Amino acid sequence: MLYRTVWMSDLHLGTRGSNAAGVLEFLRENEFERLYLVGDVIDIWRLRKERYWPQSHNDVIQKILRKARKGTQVIVIPGNHDEFCLNFLGVYGNIVVKERDVYTTAGGERLLIMHGHEFDSVTIHAPWMAHLGDVGYTLLLALNKPLNLVRRLFGLGHWSLSAYVKQNVKKVVSSISRFEEAVAHYAELHRVGSIVCGHIHTPAVRQIRGVNYYNTGDWVESSTALVEHLDGRLELVYWRERSVDNVIPIAAAPTDLADKSRLLTATR
């Protein structure tokens, strides 16, 4: 496919849970004029604890650099797991590193783009709790693999234990709701009608108080990307199965979008 712009976040390269193969497949099979990497591309938190960097993760970085050399504009928005990139804000050929950005689609929609950790009170005020949560999340991801191996033996599809826990723990659901409200309010303050972010690994397309809220999801569980077609249409693509049911058109009614976004696999 040929797109005008693509937004991807939370690749978490450097972790065993990263779907680097899916990222590489997506980059190989699609072309686009610009690529936004909306935070947590490389998971420095995990690399500090465990040196894990297989060839597939290196291939993703090389593919992104190759696209930049061939003319794709790459905009890197650092997240909390790769905040070291904030030390390198600036322009490097076709690669730009900035804290946030405002982008206008071909249809005239103005999008505020940021990772989203700025609205996470745990990350800001209690980083040790964020690291503790990261350990628990890693454990859930590790349990996902043997669980899905057994499911495949019985002819069952992919199922995420971490997603199930996240979607059914009331405190987590409440925190996601508060996060989305805070993001929408921030967009209102900046006088933009839409905002694109990542961070909470919960792909979503919905309206919140009149603000279009787009969450790109992640490439650990949901394998989702937000894409803009050449005519300005936006879609949330679930790459794992790449079926029509896993493409969410922005033109759908807000209630439908909210319902469909909950069907996507979501993790923290």
Predicted local distance difference test score (pLDDT) of residue 180: 78
**Confidence band for 266, pLDDT divided at 50, 70 and 90:** very low
Predicted local distance difference test score (pLDDT) of residue 147: 66
Predicted local distance difference test score (pLDDT) of residue 251: 43
Q: Which of 160, 124, 127 is nearest to 45 (CA)?
A: 127
What sign results for the dihedral spanned by CA atoms 250, 254, 257, 258?
positive
CA–CA distance, 119 with 113 (Å, rounded to integer) = 13
Lowest-pLDDT choice from 24-38, 42-56, 173-187, 224-238: 173-187
Amino acid at 147: L
pLDDT higher at 102 or 178: 102
Q: Report the C-alpha dihedral over residues 153, 159, 161, 164, rounded to 10 degrees.
A: -150
* Segment (H or E) for 104: strand 101-104
C-alpha distances out from residue 87 to 101, 151, 171, Å: 17, 44, 34
Query: Is residue 27 over pLDDT 50?
Result: yes
Query: Is residue 119 over pLDDT 50?
Result: yes
Q: Give 54-111 pLDDT, tens digit per residue.
A: 999 999 999 999 999 999 999 999 999 999 999 999 999 999 999 999 999 999 999 9
Q: Cβ distance 13 to 61 under 8 Å?
A: yes
**Confidence band for 137, pLDDT divided at 50, 70 and 90:** low
* Segment (H or E) for 211: strand 211-215
Q: Give 204-260 pLDDT, tens digit per residue.
A: 999 988 899 999 999 998 899 999 999 999 999 999 654 444 444 454 333 333 333
C-alpha distances out from residue 126 to 47, 48, 99, 123, Å: 21, 19, 21, 6
**Confidence band for 126, pLDDT divided at 50, 70 and 90:** very low
pLDDT higher at 38 or 190: 38
Place of tokens 């709701």: 177
Query: Is residue 184 over pLDDT 90?
Result: no
Query: Is residue 5 over pLDDT 60?
Result: yes
The CA R_g of the chain, rounded to the nearest whole Å, is: 17
C-alpha distances out from residue 107 to 36, 156, 212, 231, Å: 18, 41, 14, 7
> Residue 27 burial by CB count (10 A; 0-12/13-18/19+): exposed, middle or buried?
buried
pLDDT higher at 44 or 152: 44
- The average confidence (pLDDT) of the chain is 80
| Residues 6+ positions from 51 with CB-CB distance below 8 Å | none
**Confidence band for 164, pLDDT divided at 50, 70 and 90:** low
Q: Cβ distance 167 to 266 under 8 Å?
A: yes
Lowest-pLDDT choice from 13-27, 61-75, 100-114, 121-135: 121-135
Q: Report the C-alpha dihedral over residues 243, 245, 246, 251, rounded to 10 degrees.
A: 130
Predicted local distance difference test score (pLDDT) of residue 255: 34
Q: Give 194-204 pLDDT, tens digit per residue.
A: 999 999 888 99
The length of the chain, given as a count of residues: 268
pTM: 0.74
pLDDT higher at 230 or 175: 230
DSSP H helices, the chain, are: 20-29, 44-49, 55-69, 121-125, 127-153, 161-168, 170-189, 254-263
